Structure formats: structure tokens, C-alpha cells
Structure 1
């Protein structure tokens, strides 16, 4: 007797491309999955069919192009940030948001027109419902149940990116390599690499996310991501620190303490602005973690 399932779950490999592939398959198969989640986060439900989606870069690129058409670059950046969240429901929230945006985009009379948004016809007037700005306004409507979760995840991931930009501490290794460890609660290394590559310029550096086993490696101004779990020993093989690194770290700690004002010390505010979960990788407070 064939088993009957009440719902379906799409499982992907945890990458942005894997999630976009799952979204593509949902449209392609005319299915509405109840859950779209990473394989590692999946919790089986009664009477639910779990389908593993194989990542396809071609399908992911088509979804990416569709999001850009429907939501613009700002909407795509929001989707990307939300997809990199560690929240187990991030995949489902992104799928529902994309389905909502695609449906709204398809309502426009000028849907599919290559001149959409640039011509001067009445359909592209801001007073018409077909204006490209309409979807832009809808994706900011946080009262919409399809928009609010993605907006919330995007804000949280953006805050985590800001923490990394502020609190990453690099140490100099032999050979002129700079290295920083971090432990964010979202997969933000792909989002911060451009920031640091611009500032380091041609100086080689590595940012290692120990929570997600992802390393961003930059050399000569270009950078790439490496999954450490794919390496034979599952760890980075790094040269030792330079002879002056300990001296510079000690000087930085003394500078940090010299700037502190004891009568204005506020530990609660300090933990709020500098989350304690990050302290083990912050040079000046590592001993207090």
C-alpha cells in the first residue's frame, strides 16, 4: 500500500546556491513545500515526505536573476543576508518571500517587457499598479507575513556583519600572512570579505569562521571561500606567528586599558555592544572570556 504524505520538505546542502535550487524545484514541480531547510537542521515530521535537492548552479542562477527582476538589487541583498542566517527556518522564510515577490511581479501588465522601468508609457508611471517601484514598496511592508521574517533575519545578519567588521583581530604570521579567527552566529564571511579585501589591497589574509568551518582567503586583491570540512585534516595548516606579534598584541592590550575610564565602567553596556560570545577571539579581552 502506497504511503500518503500530508506535506513535503525540501532539504538542501546549506549553501545559498542549494537554497536557490530548492526554490527553483518548487516552481518547476508545482509543489508548495512546507519546509525548506538544511539537511543538518531537518527535524522529521509525521506524514511528511523529505526530498533531498541536489545543488545546481544553473538553476540557482535562474532564481537569482528572477529575484533581481522582481525585487531589484536591494531585495536580492536582503534575501542573500537572510539565507546566510543560522536560523533553522531561514530557508522556508526565503522560499515564501521569493514566491510572494514572484507572484506580485507577475501581476504587472508590462511583465516580461525588456524596457520595463525605463520606458515612458503609462504602465511605467508611478501612479500605475505596474510600476517597478510597487514591489520595492511591498518588500518593505513588514506587516506582510511573507516579508516580516526575511526582514528580521536580514537585520540580524547585517548586525552580525557589523560585529565582525568591528571586532575581527588579525595577527601577523610568518611570510607576511595576516590571520583572524571569528565565531559568528551567521555565515557572514562571504558578506565581509569585500570590505577587508578592499582595505588589505594586495596583502594576503585569511578570515576563518570556526563555527561554520569556512575560510575566506584573499591574495592579490582577489578572494575565495574554502570549506575546511573538505580538507583532509579538517583544519587550516598555518605558519607560526612572527616574533613581533606577541609584542604588538601586548602593546595593543596596554593601549586598550590606558583608554579605559574606571569611573565610567559599565559591564552591561559593554556586553551589549561587544557580545561576550566573541571575546575569545578579541585580543584585548581574551583573558576575560
Structure 2
């Protein structure tokens, strides 16, 4: 039994799966290279990501499961759960060994657990698409910060690229310290040396566009006046907009 370490990328995990089959050495654990591993007598292998090997595994899976199932597998990976490496390896092992589709084989723990994680990640990505609010800076950049439960930026990128195709924007994940920047042509991953927002996700007033604070105040005023106190239903409201997402909403912030 071998502990396999990788760089935390999806391609890195696929490379690990390739190495497991090539070495014929079953994994004890498959974890990020920074993880602490117990046990003194288990061999540990650091696997370097290899795109060719990763692609061979991905193409091989494509012959065993549908494109939709592959997408779900990737979304489950974005959950970042500690056991995700082993779950995906077990799923791949099951798929490669089976002569029929395993996609609906929920009797298998790995299939059932990955389906559950896929749903959780999808729900979080949908909420990010709904609740992200941009602030306009003086140089016409629309900036938003998020700290989602799962690493959903890679799967919400297309939504914002299509919806805001005519403006530059940056969505920055303060939990994972990277963001997506759209320059009117393509989306690129960026890392900021210094994060510029406060704990509430607000940019400093001196770098905002001249009218941004006014627009925020107008929206907050509209929200307050559109609310009918007698018809408030906090329980229903929290069901649709859980409390942890309020920090993204302009209408929920105190006036500046």
C-alpha cells in the first residue's frame, strides 16, 4: 500500500490514477502534497502532474462513462473534501473494471458519495451566480469577492463571461486566494499580492467609481421601501437566501 501525494489539481489526481495502474501499487491514501500523513511504514510517492498521462486516464474514462458523468466527477472534485482523491480513484477503478455503465450504481459507496458531492457543488455554484454583487472601480473594473464553501469559480466562469461580456470584471475568492479576470476577450486566473477589500468585501471608497456609492445607497433605499413589514417571513427568506450569503448582497449591508 502506498500514499500518493499530488499538487491538488484535477490533472494531478488523474496522473496519480495513471501511476497507480502503471506501478500496480494500490493506494492507502491519495492526498494533497501538503497533507500530514500518519504511519511510519507506508511508502509515500510524490506524483508530478503529467498532462499526457492525465489525458489518457480522462479519455479512458470517456469510453466508460458519459460526458455528463465526467462533468459531475469534476464538480465533485471541486468539493475539496479530504477523501475526494480516493473516491474518484475508486470510481475510476469500478468504471474500468465494469462491462456496463456504473453511473447509476448507487449501491457502490463511491458512486453514491460522488453524486452527493456533485449536487452540493452544483447548489453552491448556482447560489454564487445568483448572489454575487459587483462594485465598479474608478478604472471601470467590476470587482466582487466571494468565499464559497466549495471551489466553484471554475464552473461559474462561463455564466459571467456570457452575462457580462461587455465589461471587464474580476471575481476573487478570498478563501482560496485566487480570482478570475475577464478582459473583454478571455477569462484568466489571477492571484493578488494584496487583497484590497475589507472583511465585508467592500472596496475602499477612494478606488470606487464616482457614482458607485450613490448607486449602492439608491439600491438599499429601494430595497427598504419595497419591503412590506407586515408580510415579512424570515423563515422563508432564509430558506431562499441563507444567512451566510448575506455578506455578498448590497441590500444587506449597512450604509457607508
Answer yes or no: same fold by TM over 0.5: yes
What is the match of residue 25 of structure 1?
19
**How many Å apart are 1:86 and its aligned residue?**
2.5
Query: Which runs of 5 or more residues in structure 1 are unaligned?
Result: 1-6, 108-133
Work out whether 1:244 is the aligned partner of 2:199: no
Answer whether contact 1:181 1:208 (CA < 8 A) is retained: yes
CA–CA distance in 2 between the matches of 1:260 and 1:142? 45
Answer whether contact 1:24 1:63 (CA < 8 A) is retained: yes
CA–CA distance in 1 between the matches of 2:217 and 2:185? 29
What secondary structure is seen at the aligned counterpart in 2 of 1:17? helix
Per-residue CA deviations over 1:120-150 (Å, capped at 9, x if unaligned) read xxxxxxxxxxxxxx41xx3123232220111
Answer whether contact 1:197 1:221 (CA < 8 A) is retained: no
Change (3 A) 1:49 1:254: farther
Work out whether 1:278 is the aligned partner of 2:245: yes
Per-residue CA deviations over 1:14-43 (Å, capped at 9, x if unaligned) read 111111111221122112212212234444
**How many Å apart are 1:259 and its aligned residue?**
2.9
Aligned residues between the structures? 248
CA–CA distance in 2 between the matches of 1:151 and 1:53? 27
Work out whether 1:212 is the aligned partner of 2:176: yes
Per-residue CA deviations over 1:227-252 (Å, capped at 9, x if unaligned) read x2xx6x35479992101110111112
What is the match of residue 48 of structure 2?
54
What is the match of residue 147 of structure 1?
111
Change (3 A) 1:221 1:259: farther
Answer whether contact 1:10 1:33 (CA < 8 A) is retained: yes
Q: Aligned runs of 1:50-199 on 2, under 5 Å? A: 50-104=44-98, 107=99, 134-135=100-101, 138-199=102-163
**How many Å apart are 1:180 and its aligned residue?**
0.9
**How many Å apart are 1:8 and its aligned residue?**
2.1
**How many Å apart are 1:206 and its aligned residue?**
0.7
CA–CA distance in 2 between the matches of 1:43 and 1:253? 50
Query: Which runs of 5 or more residues in structure 2 are unaligned?
Result: 198-202
Answer whether contact 1:169 1:283 (CA < 8 A) is retained: yes
Change (3 A) 1:139 1:172: same
RMSD (Å), alpha carbons: 2.3
Work out whether 1:10 is the aligned partner of 2:28: no
CA–CA distance in 1 between the matches of 2:171 and 2:82? 24
Per-residue CA deviations over 1:86-117 (Å, capped at 9, x if unaligned) read 2111121111111111222xx3xxxxxxxxxx
CA–CA distance in 1 between the matches of 2:39 and 2:222? 55
CA–CA distance in 2 between the matches of 1:43 and 1:266? 48
What secondary structure is seen at the aligned counterpart in 2 of 1:63? helix
What is the match of residue 261 of structure 1?
228
Bigger radius of gyration among the two:
1
What secondary structure is seen at the aligned counterpart in 1 of 2:64? helix
